[in-house]
Homo-oligomer: A and B are copies of this chain.
């Protein structure tokens, strides 16, 4: 998780408790202060560690916040609700619940913004957050194909493109709804979204 894990055999080992305390303190600071007013000195005080300890483990604010936010998204699961539409609604609601938390909204958007000027940071976000959750799309598609709700893909490359497209559409829509439109992605909204995603705008309304 940290910037580097020096596989040292000897010497005093790094405190794992300090790691957890620092990441939790970072999330708390994101809630109270937001991204721009968050200072590493303040995080160190909250976590009960020295500021120098923090700089020994993370290169800067960006990397620290990525790790602090990434932990939030690992709790996503894909419960079997019986149909593709219901499965999608279930996972989208979970995703919306995470994005409703201030530490997730604030931290995630800020590091994404910073990543437009920092390739290493963007790769860190991709590895720690985005690609880890693509498993949900893959699992959902496989389950839907087993049910006969989706046709089996013929071309492998085409299938991968579709997975990326779906991920962008789902994550993008929920993020935009939650953060930009500032409206809750509640059950009603998720239901309408899922209907359009599966059947399209041309289909007749409810």
Where the two chains meet, the residues of A that have a C-beta atom closer than 8 Å to any C-beta of B are 34-36, 61, 102, 105-106, 108-110, 112-118, 122, 125-126, 130, 149-151, 153-154, 158, 161-162, 164-169, 171-177, 179-183, 189, 192-193, 196-206
A114 engages B193 (CB within 8 Å): no
By secondary structure, the A interface counts as helix
In the bound complex, residues from chain B placing their C-beta under 8 Å from that of A202 are 149-150, 198-199
Nearest residue in B to A203 (C-beta to C-beta)? Answer: B200
In the bound complex, residues from chain B placing their C-beta under 8 Å from that of A196 are 165-166, 169, 197, 200
In the bound complex, residues from chain B placing their C-beta under 8 Å from that of A34 are 113-114, 116-118
User: Which of A35, A112, A115 has the largest number of chain B CB atoms within 10 A?
Assistant: A112
B173 engages A169 (CB within 8 Å): yes
Give min CB distance, A76 to chain B, whole Å: 16
